[in-house]
Amino acid sequence: MLKKSFILLLATFLFAVNITLSAQNITVSGKVSSSDGVGIPNAQIQIKSLEIGTVADSSGIYTFSVKPGKYTFEISAVGFATLTEAVKISKEMTLNFTLKPLIRQLNTVDVKDKKNDVNGLRRLADVENMAIYAGKKNEVIVLDGVNANLATNNARQIYAKVPGVNIVENDSYGIQLGVATRGLNPNRTTEFNSRQNGYDISADPIGYPESYYTPPTEAISRIEIVRGAASLQYGTQFGGLLNFQFKKGNPDKKIELDTRQTVGAYGLFNSFNAIGGQVGKLNYYGFYQHKQGNGWRNNTNFNLNTGYAAVTWDLTSKLKIGGEITMMDYLMKQPGGLTDAEFAENPRASYRNGNWFKAKWNIPAVHVDYQLGEKTKINLRTYGLIAQRGSIGNIINPLRDKTDTTARRQLSYDHYNNWGSEFRFLHRYKIAGKVSSFLAGARYFQGHTQKKQGSGFEGKDANFNFPTPDKVDEFDYTFPSHNAAFFVENVIWLNEKWSVTPGFRMEYINTNSRGYSVSSVTNEIVQGREKKTRSFPLFGIGVNHAITPKSEIYFNISQNYSPVNYSDIQVRTPNFQVDPNLKDVTGFNADLGFRGQYKNWLNFDLSAYYLDYNNRIGIIRIASDDGLEVIRYRTNVGRSRSRGVEAFGEINFFRLTGKPESTGDLSLFASVAYTDAAYTKAINPLLNTLIVGRQVEFAPKMITRGGITYRKNRFGTTLQMAYTSQQFTDAYNSSHTADGLVGEIPAYKLVDWTANYQLKNVNFSLSVNNVLNEKYFTRRALGFPGPGIIPSDGRTAYLTVGLKI
């Protein structure tokens, strides 16, 4: 029955491709000026009924695309009265708007991203959403403009236009996201400050920043990415900011339903259902997602449920409050890792049938926005995290007996109870007639993590209970943490073309550990207690220079800091040890780039960067105490530097050649990143000859993604190619070891294809991942979900049918 339904849906999709029902998007551009004719920087232009809009540049120039029709435009800017104007759009046209000064309150309009830029990508304005981005390298992925497999959160497609994103595929269904840039470790996105609607979603951003929860892409409006320069406003991580912004209720409808049902290879079923709207001054949005499947490899299956609800209430013209709750839980059976020989023989093989992983995530949050005066606004966000994750299985590699299911299973279980609050104050003022923006903020975070590890029950079921919960046989530790920070940034316009943005952050971090571990040699209980407090300043500065109204040169240099993670301190797997004297990581990011648009057919960003990374934590090999075994030892290996080039360009050929609108829209994009990441110094002088000059772990020299997109009327299709060069998993750049735990990750090339068609309120989407059925992997795991090579999926296909009413 399922097969027949799939064939019927596919036939309907292919028939619908040939139907044309609406006109092509056309370009609207213009200038927002004050009454004296001077362009207003960062003015916001919005069509609320369509949830589209854009932000003017530093000269007040704007541009975006929209279908023909009659619309009501809303134009707003700090220090000016909001203008509402009805306009009929029938062809490409120029719309200029003039705003009156002396407003009674500062209106901040959320930019609704649909197709306000080229095929799902835009840049953040200099000042946007209570934050300053002037002089910072950033990208905004607008999901409604992206042809991608949203049901499986396909990171290769979603992040294709962000140069240099290295992807670790922990699973093939988007349950756990693993991305990084510039030679940083992509495992569970630990190097990014991961946020949702502006607040943290990782287990503990100070001590354990791994993200076991990934927001479902079908519910996301946009993804904001700011590189290392985000350290002053959002946190000290070297990777920068990764913020998932959820959709909101349609402000023009009291109720709107959105449902998307996906079926795919190897038993995948994904059901996404959302409801939202506007009732008076109350906006609401919520969704529920269920996802299940069997997986490409043996001994693989998963079951995931995610729910979200949010309300925002405009109490007065100055005060807005809101609340939201996120709940997620999933259970995954994991096939384990392979050696190089096993992967070469059969990458779909699995020799573990009792390995499981589970996670539960609950995130409540509230936010308040208040207009203090004509040019001043404050924002307060407070959130909590009540979560847990667990893993159980046999992590011996290689297995002594591939058919043995009675061997000891190691159980690891964590509980997280955190809360945090962040306050922001934004004030606009004039210097020499130019509008400047001052931002100040403060943050407090309190975390409490409990980690237990020891023997679990034998067998092969998903039993996450300890046989003796009051006394586990490896370790039981709690990690309380406290973090406070204060930051200031100020974007100052020197003239019409130049701006400078100095910034400062003062950070306080207090991490503690208390508990016990059991000696693997004597079986004695060893009590442990440690407290570490540090305070330090971080500085940064950014510069912008407008070359044209649509292009600019930008520069930024900002300091970064990364505390030692709890996972670095307490991990016990066979033949693996951790240095008890690990040190925090320090360094900085620097960017110099040129970005913008040329007319309406070219979008580009070309930049060079330098990343300094001191006290890098990695793995070296040492002899065991008895000299009979080789121990992999996690310690501060040395100092590394990453330098490279990140480039993105997209050309719209039909706009370039002046083809008529009926022809459609054909664009070609490419994102290219070259990374030269190497060790420059070893902390232990004896290692200088072994690692200095070696390639840093998880730092492929080349990451290239390109694709071609064709859109006509309601049909769109994208064919994408991706290449990632060779990378290594240890500081020695080992080719491989017999157990598969460390070694190279060979270069791989992949092709993905997606097509979609809109038929009135119904949307069809068909996608094929790994079209050429390449055999590849992106990760070698020392413990879970391995140990060993974690193969990625071969060719898989998915069909989605969506309905919005």
Summarize pLDDT for 278-313 with one digit per residue, the tens. 999 999 999 999 999 999 999 999 999 999 999 999
Q: Is 514 exposed, middle or buried (0-12, 13-18, 19+ CB in 10 A)?
A: middle
Of 105, 112, 110, 158, nearest to 131 by C-alpha is 110
φ/ψ (deg, to 5) at 187? -60, 115
Cβ-contact 141, 225 below 8 angstroms: yes
Please compute the mean of the pLDDT values over residues 105-111 and round it to a whole number.
36
Of 362, 365, 353, 448, nearest to 404 by C-alpha is 353
pLDDT confidence of residue 11: 42
Q: Sorting pLDDT into bands at 50, 70 and 90, what band is 520?
A: confident
Q: Sorting pLDDT into bands at 50, 70 and 90, what band is 21?
A: very low
Please compute the mean of the pLDDT values over residues 703-711 and round it to a whole number.
95
Q: Is 4 exposed, middle or buried (0-12, 13-18, 19+ CB in 10 A)?
A: exposed
What Å distances lie between residue 746 and 272, 343, 644, 753, 779, CA to CA? 36, 12, 21, 23, 10
Please compute the mean of the pLDDT values over residues 723-730 and round it to a whole number.
95
Percent of the chain topping pLDDT 90: 62
Dist. CA 363–CA 419, nearest whole Å:
9
Q: Sorting pLDDT into bands at 50, 70 and 90, what band is 625?
A: low
Dist. CA 50–CA 46, nearest whole Å:
9
Of the two residues 593 and 211, the one the predictor is more confident about is: 593
Specify the amino acid at residue 342: E
Please compute the mean of the pLDDT values over residues 713-737 and round it to a whole number.
92
User: ∠83-494-140 over CA atoms, to 5°?
Assistant: 60
Cβ-contact 436, 492 below 8 angstroms: yes
Question: Tokens for 407?
Answer: 């061997």
Of 421, 549, 434, 439, nearest to 485 by C-alpha is 421
Cβ-contact 754, 766 below 8 angstroms: yes
Of 14, 48, 51, nearest to 144 by C-alpha is 51
What tens digit of pLDDT does each residue of 382-417 get? 999 999 999 999 888 777 667 655 678 999 999 999
Dist. CA 244–CA 252, nearest whole Å:
24
What tens digit of pLDDT does each residue of 195-213 get? 999 999 999 998 899 989 9
The answer for residues whose C-beta is within 8 angstroms of residue 661's C-beta and 6 or more apart is 23, 24, 26
Statement: residue 111 has pLDDT above 50: no
Handedness of CA 308, 156, 9, 304 (dihedral sign): negative
Cβ-contact 63, 54 below 8 angstroms: yes
Dist. CA 231–CA 589, nearest whole Å:
9
Give the strand pairing for 93-94 and 26-34.
Answer: parallel
| Average of per-residue pLDDT values in the chain | 88
Q: Sorting pLDDT into bands at 50, 70 and 90, what band is 272?
A: very high
Domains present along the chain, CATH in parentheses? 26-113 (2.60.40.1120), 246-251+258-402+415-496+507-521+537-804 (2.40.170.20)
Lowest mean pLDDT among 32-41, 456-465, 482-491, 556-565: 32-41
pLDDT confidence of residue 690: 86
The answer for residues whose C-beta is within 8 angstroms of residue 236's C-beta and 6 or more apart is 505, 507, 538, 560, 561, 562
